[in-house]
Amino acid sequence: MTARTHPFQRKANLASFQERVVFWSLRAFTYIILLFGVCIFSIIIIKGAPTVFDSFRVTGSFPFISNDFLFTKPQTLHVFKYKGEIKQMAADDYYAFVGQTPAPPPAEIPTTPPAPAPDANAAPSGVAPVAPVAPAPPAIPVPILTTTGINPDDITEHETYSYAAGGIWPQIVGTVLLVIGSMTVALILGIFSAVYLSEYSKQGPFISAIRLAIVNLAGVPSIVFGLFGFGIFVLAFGWNVSLMAGWFTLAFMILPVIITASEESLRAVPQGFRQGSLALGATKWQTIWQNVLPYALPGILTSSVLGIARVAGETAPILFTAAYATSDKLPWEITITPDRLSSGALGYLEYPFLWIHDFVFHGVNALPYHIYVVSSKIPQNEYTERVQYGTAFVFLGVVMTIALASILLRTRLRNRLKW
Amino acid sequence: MSTSPTTIMDETTPTAQSVEVVMNPASPALDKSSRFNAPTIIDIDNVDFYYGQSKALHGINFPIKEKLVTAFIGPSGCGKSTLLRCLNRMNDLVDGTRIGAGSIKISGVDIYDPSVDVIELRKRVGMVFQKSNPFPKSIYENIVYGLRLQGINQKARLDETVERSLRGAALWDEVRDRLHTSALGLSGGQQQRLCIARAIAVEPEIILMDEPCSALDPIATVKVEELIHQLKQNYTIVIVTHNMQQAGRCSDITAFFYMGRLIEIDTTEKIFTNPSQRQTEDYISGRFG
Ligand SMILES: Nc1ncnc2c1ncn2[C@@H]1O[C@H](COP(=O)(O)OP(=O)(O)O)[C@@H](O)[C@H]1O
Ligand SMILES: [Mg+2]
């Protein structure tokens, strides 16, 4: 037994034991959560990153590098055996490979002797096909070759898998457009109503009730917002399934967050800025616009970053309002036929308006919706995994990029307007 | 009635008020001192003031004289700030406030009349706050803020105003080389003088100061007090202060408040040497407050 040398001698007792138990259990909880997080992220990265990085391709023109997964449309994967060899091809490649089957022979039997079958090797791919001169005589079954010189009978065990080939460019475009548009709508509506609630309205039970209602909107499941958006924007307003309907539906979903955050940021601006400005003869709006909002903006943007991830990630609200599983056109791939323009000389001035109209009333694809489709709407197999994880990986990348951009914007604002 | 500042300010004050010298019937000092025989610029007439249901001011009744420094003293919570903020209607910002009875006239115009444009009023009645509140902009932009609000953007005019205001606030020599750096880089005392410069940039006639030195160190305080002395040449100044010495040093007239009532108003000299009310004497001598 050691001798006590001073009154503060450390000794084992219940308190110190409890202290250690608490410390280690808190640490364990935290690390378990961290472990799960690491698992999720590493699965997405390990399985998804190869999809993206294997798709780089050198091109002949600027910028000399492209990525088929990021910048092309989804395609159906064709898997087949050709002369005993298993081949996987995207739909475009497959049809280029197979070429066209010649038209069926005319009913009447030609009088001329049959021409020799076209030489398979001589048919250059990519050259406009030459119509076959004549069918093989029925007596000897000579295989009918396609325009690229393929004998269809050589293709066996042909299977197709939707979305398993190609890329996710339309989904990336759709997600980015949905995020930018809905954040814009939500920030404008949210900031203005927050300004009204915290700067203009008389504080009282009525305003408190409104505030409570808005805050509680945050707890409404996103599918309900989807139905709401479908009922209001798609049907009642007649916007159809479109970017516009998606923007507003998503905006209403995150408005509670934006309004609450904006009110908080407005409150954080010192009262002295308002009083100082008013005492110099500013109107209320001048004060808010010039001396309050600029200083609240960085805080509002900070909280909006969370909104970005939510808008980008939600599937339910866009299910009925903005998303197409397949859309053959991107929003800007618009053709406006002359008959839609007024006939007068100035009719072409309507072009930009029609263009914008077509753009915003165009449905889009989106990354989370694509993950949902490829993971649950089509049969699962080894070929769909590439797209599932690749899309999840790209989704993480897109959300991080947008979030990073808004953080940079916020930092710049904050540096400019420090107090 | 016109709401323009000129009308508010240029209206001739009634003669009866302008010759009024005796603010407190028992103040012979005021009578003798011709220095205080100044016209009345603000006439506070039996004002009751309410925050919702609670009455913060009870029948306040006294005039404020032009181009003199009037100090409001009294223990914390006695209504000094409330009264000061009535003078440029900053109390309008608080929900549920109202003047229950009486009126406040500036140059003869009731400033609570519905026809009065509060924006114009505040241009004429500037205010400096207890906590200095420079905006997080450059020194230059702080000064021209009020002018830009009025749509004045010519550079020559702004430059001229900046120099005039900063000289007026005895700050020019200290900041002339860094007009375009952030106002938040200034020391506390400089910030407060910047706020004074910002207030005089819009050329008010009256400057209200609510404990302008309470957050400053003694040296900065002396500078602001010297500044008040200078400003007196051109402006009517109303200053709320907690600091008895300060009231003694820089004011001409002192009003003592207690529990929302005006107890005594007289020349500063009289209040500090020979107050007529017992409560005043107790407060001055530090027995309460
Ligand atoms: N915004 C307000 N709402 C309600 N009561 C207030 C408000 N501001 C001040 N009061 C009350 O009015 C009285 C006078 O306050 P104030 O004028 O600030 O005193 P002083 O400046 O003399 O210390 C105090 O009792 C205070 O509680
Ligand atoms: Mg006060």
Tokens 């924007």 — which residue?
Answer: A233
Domain A169-327+363-416 has CATH 3.30.1330.10: no
pLDDT for A4: 66
| Ligand 1 atom with the shortest distance to the CA of B82 | 17
Q: Could you tell me which residue, A2 or A178, shows the higher pLDDT?
A: A178
Q: Could you tell me which residue, B281 or A102, shows the higher pLDDT?
A: B281
Q: Could you tell me which residue, A121 or B122, shows the higher pLDDT?
A: B122
Does B120 contact A281 at a Cβ distance shorter than 8 Å?
A: yes
Q: What is the reported pTM?
A: 0.78
Residue of A nearest to B185 (CA): A419
Distance CA B64, CA B60 (A): 12
CATH topology of domain B34-284: Rossmann fold (3.40.50)
Q: Which residues line ligand 1 (CB under 6 A)?
A: B 51, 56, 74, 76-82, 94
User: Is the dihedral angle over the CA atoms B111, B115, B116, B119 positive or is it negative?
Assistant: positive
Contact criterion met (CB below 8 Å) for A148 and A122: no
Task: Compute how many other C-beta atoms are within 10 angstroms of the C-beta atom of residue B57.
Answer: 24
Instruction: Kindly report the length of chain A.
Output: 419
Q: A199: closest CA among A276, A265, A298, A297?
A: A265
Which of B87, B98, B149 would best serve as a mutation to test chain A binding (most A beta carbons within 10 A)? B149
Question: Which tokens sit at B168?
Answer: 């007026």
B89 C-alpha to ligand 1 centroid (Å): 15
Residues of chain B with pLDDT under 50: 1-33
List, as own/partner pairs, every contact residues A44-53 make where C-beta atoms lie below 8 angstroms and the sequence separation is at least 24, other chains included: A44/A389, A44/A392, A44/A393, A44/A396, A45/A393, A47/A385, A47/A389, A47/A393, A48/A389, A48/A390, A48/A391, A48/A392, A48/A393, A48/A394, A49/A393, A51/A386, A51/A387, A51/A389, A51/A390, A51/A393, A52/A390, A52/A393, A52/A394
Q: Which among B88, B131, B182 is the nearest to A279, CB-wise?
A: B88
- Which percentage of chain A shows pLDDT scores above 90? 34
Q: Count Cα neighbours of A70 within 13 Å in the Cβ-side half-sphere.
A: 17
Q: Could you tell me which residue, A112 or A289, shows the higher pLDDT?
A: A289
Q: What φ, ψ does residue B257 adopt, rounded to 5°?
A: -115, 150
Distance CA A141, CA B123 (A): 102
Q: Whose CA is nearest to atom 20 of ligand 1?
A: B77
Q: Which among A203, A283, A418 is the nearest to B136, CB-wise?
A: A418
How is A398-409 classified by DSSP, letter by letter?
Answer: HHHHHHHHHHHH
Name the interface residues of B facing A (CB cutoff 8 Å). Answer: 88, 90, 93, 95, 119-120, 122-123, 126-127, 129, 131, 133-136, 145-146, 149-150, 182, 184, 195, 198-199, 202
pLDDT for A6: 85
Question: Which tokens sit at A18?
Answer: 């409890």
Residues 6+ apart with CB under 8 A from B153: none
Element (H, E) at A363: none
Domain ranges of chain A: 74-101+143-166, 169-327+363-416
pLDDT for B30: 47
Distance CA B110, CA A212 (A): 41
How is A331-346 classified by DSSP, letter by letter?
Answer: TT-----GGGS-SSGG
pLDDT for A327: 64
Query: How does residue A265 score in pLDDT terms, banded at 50, 70 and 90?
Result: very high
Q: Which among B95, B126, B134 is the nearest to A279, CB-wise?
A: B126
Does A272 contact B136 at a Cβ distance shorter than 8 Å?
A: no
| Ligand 1 atom with the shortest distance to the CA of B210 | 21
Rounded to a whole number of angstroms, the distance from the CA of B136 to the nearest CA of chain A is 5
Q: Could you tell me which residue, A381 or B257, shows the higher pLDDT?
A: B257
Does B133 contact A273 at a Cβ distance shorter than 8 Å?
A: yes
**From the centroid of its chain, how far is CA B137?**
25
Beta bridge partners of B209: B128, B239
pLDDT digits (tens, 9 = 90+) for B109-138: 999 999 999 999 999 999 999 999 999 999
DSSP-derived letter for residue A235 is I
3-state secondary structure of B51: strand
Task: Compute how many other C-beta atoms are within 10 angstroms of the C-beta atom of residue A175.
Answer: 27
Q: Could you tell me which residue, A355 or A266, shows the higher pLDDT?
A: A266
**Mean pLDDT to the nearest integer, A156-175:** 86
pLDDT digits (tens, 9 = 90+) for A383-393: 888 888 999 99
Does A279 contact B184 at a Cβ distance shorter than 8 Å?
A: no
Query: How does residue A109 score in pLDDT terms, banded at 50, 70 and 90?
Result: low
Element (H, E) at B43: strand B40-51
Which of B127, B135, B202 would best serve as a mutation to test chain A binding (most A beta carbons within 10 A)? B135
Which of B86, B122, B133 would best serve as a mutation to test chain A binding (most A beta carbons within 10 A)? B133
List, as own/partner pairs, every contact residues A81-85 make where C-beta atoms lie below 8 angstroms and the sequence separation is at least 24, other chains included: A81/A155, A81/A156, A81/A157, A82/A150, A82/A154, A82/A155, A82/A156, A83/A154
Does A295 contact B136 at a Cβ distance shorter than 8 Å?
A: yes
Distance CA A417, CA A290 (A): 12
Which of A280, A288, A415 would best serve as a mutation to test chain B binding (most B beta carbons within 10 A)? A280
Q: Give, in degrees to the nearest 5, the angle at Cα B263 between B260 and B264.
A: 140
Burial class (CB in 10 A: 0-12, 13-18, 19+), A85: exposed
Contact criterion met (CB below 8 Å) for A358 and A373: no
**Mean pLDDT to the nearest integer, A244-267:** 93
pLDDT for A104: 62
Contact criterion met (CB below 8 Å) for B270 and B21: no
B77 C-alpha to ligand 1 centroid (Å): 6
Task: Compute how many other C-beta atoms are within 10 angstroms of the C-beta atom of residue B158.
Answer: 18
pLDDT digits (tens, 9 = 90+) for A199-250: 998 888 999 999 999 989 888 999 999 999 999 999 999 898 899 999 999 9
- The 3-state secondary structure of A1-38 reads CCCCCCCCCCCCCHHHHHHHHHHHHHHHHHHHHHHHHH
- Mutate which of B76, B81, B87, B91 for ligand 1? The one with the most ligand atoms within 8 Å of its CB, which is B81
pLDDT of residue A139 exceeding 90, the answer is no
pLDDT of residue A285 exceeding 90, the answer is yes
pLDDT digits (tens, 9 = 90+) for A15-52: 889 999 999 999 999 999 999 999 999 999 999 898 88
Rounded to a whole number of angstroms, the distance from the CA of A379 to the nearest CA of chain B is 60
Does B202 contact A279 at a Cβ distance shorter than 8 Å?
A: no
pLDDT for B196: 92
pLDDT for B29: 43
β-strands B40-51, B54-65: how paired? Answer: antiparallel
Rounded to a whole number of angstroms, the distance from the CA of A417 to the nearest CA of chain B is 6
Question: Which tokens sit at A296?
Answer: 């609240």
Burial class (CB in 10 A: 0-12, 13-18, 19+), B50: middle
3-state secondary structure of A209: helix
- Mutate which of B51, B85, B256, B258 for ligand 1? The one with the most ligand atoms within 8 Å of its CB, which is B51
CA dihedral A383, A388, A390, A392 (to 10 degrees): -170
CB pairs under 8 A between A and B: 65
The answer to which of A57-66, A216-225, A272-281 has the lowest mean pLDDT is A57-66
Q: Which among A202, A272, A283 is the nearest to B95, CB-wise?
A: A202
On chain A, the residues whose CB falls within 8 A of the CB of B95 are 202-203
pLDDT for B24: 46
On chain B, the residues whose CB falls within 8 A of the CB of A279 are 88, 90, 122, 126-127, 129, 199
Question: Which tokens sit at B289?
Answer: 């407050």
Residue of A nearest to B192 (CA): A276
| Ligand 1 atom with the shortest distance to the CA of B96 | 3
pLDDT for A1: 54
**Mean pLDDT to the nearest integer, A174-195:** 93
Question: ipTM of this model?
Answer: 0.85
**Please, what's the b/e burial string for B239-258 (b: 16 or more CB within 10 A of its CB; e: otherwise)?**
bbbbbbebbbbbbbbbbbbb
